Chains A and B, each alone.
Chain A
Amino acid sequence: MAIIETRRLRKVFRSVKRYPGVGGAIRSLFTREYVEKAAVEDVNLAMQAGELVGYIGPNGAGKSTTIKMLTGILVPTSGEIHVAGLVPYQRRKENARNIGVVFGQRSQLYWDLPLRESFELLRAIYAVPRDRYRSNLTRFSNILALDEFMSTPVRQLSLGQRMRGDFAAAMLHDPKIVYLDEPTIGLDVVAKAAIREFIARINEERGTTVILTTHDLADVERLCRRIVLIDGGRIVFDGPIDRLRDEYGTHRTLVVTMAETCDTLAFPHTELTEQQGNVVHLRFDRRRVTAEQLIRQVTERCTIRDVSIVEPELEDIIRRIYLEGYRTQARASASEPV
């Protein structure tokens, strides 16, 4: 049975309509017109225990709203939701014992307390047995190097230190599921690496189910096998990263270094995307033309010194999906003969 399951999940926010300018500000004091906006339109998810899933999408796509419904603090407008057998918003406190949450932009540590005391407080809140608490804390300190700032008040920690503290805080009670909402935002490379390592180990060693929301696709590539793409409140892709590459990475780029200038660079199913001196970038549709065919065509017309093929980056693929929209993409690839 899936540990997380949502069916036709939908959340509509209602807000007061605002008018522009000073006149508008006064007007909105007296009129009450509401604008309804569906942050989550229709989300169907099923996740097995122990999965590590990247949940990605552009700003405002509905990622955080979904997460908040999974934690039980937002009540869905309609649809079904089950997390570890519970309906989160009906059994908020019980659900809270099963989950751990890290928000990159918001700390759950207590601002004016030293890190150690925040942990002590969390131990009391989740009623973690003492020995369990001590062994967890030792383990996390080792991976995240917490010792050096254990006695520092949280408000004096650097962002990287605070995030490491937040990760340990979220995992102290051995949650079955963790929601990570942009956990590496604003961190330097070293801190990012430490956090990624921590996520991977928690997932492997404890079988913790992880949902990772991020804009940093390096996080996703390093950690997740499965990704769920959300856009406009709907899931537009759900599957292994490799499949996303296969389906959408239809275009590769052939980078050719010419021995001498060559004028005729128009080839079928190929687009000249960049030209710098003797180096040209030819973007081609690999379903229509193979690299071998293209290289042959180029060498027939020009003398070349060097060639290389650039695979599409995950980031490029996803950017294209954001920009062009999934459905137009899907339709285009369905109607074209492969």
Chain B
Amino acid sequence: MTLSGLIALIIFFAAIFASLKGWISQKLFPMQVALLLASAIIIITGLALGEKINPSQIITGTFLHPITATIAGFILAGALKSAGAFEAASGWIQKLQNSFLGVPFAVIVLINIPTLLAMPCGRVWVSPLIPVALTLGFELARKSEDKRMPVIIISGLVINAAASCGPSLIGGIGLIGEGMGRYPSGSFSDHMQFAIMFMTSFAMILSKYLYNETVSERMYDLQSIGEKQEPLEHGAFSLVLFISVIVGTIIIKPAMPVQTILIITTFLIMIIAGLGFDDLVRGIILHPLTAMISGFIAAGTLSMFGGFDVLVYVLGYISEHTPLGYVGVSILLVYLPVFLPLPCGRIIAVSLIPGVLMFGEHVAQMAGSIRIQEVMIVCFILSGAASCGPSPLGGIGSIGEGRLRLKSSTGRFLSLSIFMAVPIAGFSVGVLGLSAETLSKGFLIEAVITGLISGLVTNFLTVKKIFHPGGLIGGLIVSLLMLVL
């Protein structure tokens, strides 16, 4: 443990908490600026303490993958919007609503798409799906006269997308845990996917009963204006193209980055729908991008001075010298990404996995079961992956809040839904164990239970009836597909 590491950790925590609590006025210094200034203070302190500084080491703390995935997602969303794909999707959802499966089916499928077709970054799905979810939410709000509906659906979608980078088999955070912990590739995926379905249900329930703010009337007016637009000629085709490309990517797993695939799809849509570059730029929102980069810079600085090592040391000290012990601190460690929600779970995952493995080993020895370590690492990864949902530093939740023009943060109940769902993943690992082969009886039973419970919750929240074929069939389809894909 070094003094510079300890000071860096204190400054980093202070900057985040001061921004979150409003002690640093967001009007004067936005979160991005606060983080950059904190990084500068850390560097100056380090220099004063005689530490060697290598700027390159700070830059290596910046993970480009989520940044480029976000940009690619935004660009594609811009193209889809201009081509009229969202109007086409709304049309389809309208038709689906009128079928016997009804609204619950449309809702459960839509909000679980990010985890079903898990991308390496949830932002890839959030950008194009939010407009569709908004349409559905406003439509439902009008029908059910419950103005919380848009918030409920967006919350479900946001937390589902945020956590979806955990189980993604094409470069998700789960692979970091599997790689560093040397577990079979893909063995974390199904446990996390089912827990995310629960997490989504929890987020929807909590947003209905705990979140008080409703969407302003102005948004309803805006949405009505949007609805009057005529569906564009190429909208449906663009949407089909987008979905088939994503499904193809998941099944084939081509040796090509998902960003490239998204950009090629964007170009195809541009050619088909005759779009210009202005149409693409329209989809880009700079706030989450700048927040993410500043978060990476701050975390890179912290990492260079050994701040994360100090954190592990402090946790070790607490476990040995307080009644919390290794078990108590392990629980704290698992939930640490939720207490410290950074714009991308990768930052904390990469920095703290060695610590989680160490604590896991201690607890496993105490409990006499090696599986405890597996439970801990899966829970930590899920908690880390989902933590970008409630993160105010450019997390996925801020995209949802921005689109709904909400004034208060949704972070609190999104965090609570993570708290509630993480033990489910742990329980699943504890009972079924880690294996790359998941087409077994145990997983099938888990899929059916998860699908049915999610279906029941969606039925209750959308049509106020627990038993409705739409939610139950939709839930079962989604969970069984998760098992196969």
Chain B associates with chain A = no
